[in-house]
Amino acid sequence: MTKEDVISAIRNVPDFPIPGIQFKDITTALQCPDCLRWFRDEMVEYYRDKGITKVLGIESRGFIIAPSVAMELNAGFVPIRKPGKLPAKVVEQSYAKEYGTDTIQIHADALTPDDIVLIHDDLLATGGTMEAAVELVMKMGVRKVYVNFLIELDGLEGKKAIQGTEEIYSLLSIKVEE
Rounded Cα gap, residues 80 and 67, in angstroms: 12
User: Which ranges constitute the DSSP H helices of 22-154?
Assistant: 27-30, 33-47, 62-72, 128-139
Q: Would you call 166 a catalytic residue per the annotation?
A: no
What does each C-alpha distance from 53 to 23, 50, 61 come to in angstroms?
Answer: 32, 9, 21
The answer to whether residue 81 is catalytic is: no
- Given 61, 81, 131, 152, which residue is catalytic? 61
Nearest to 110 by CA among 73, 70, 148, 72: 70
CB contact at 8 A, 177 and 154: no
Which one of the listed residues 59, 72, 92, 98 is annotated catalytic? Answer: 98
Q: Which residues are catalytic?
A: 61, 98
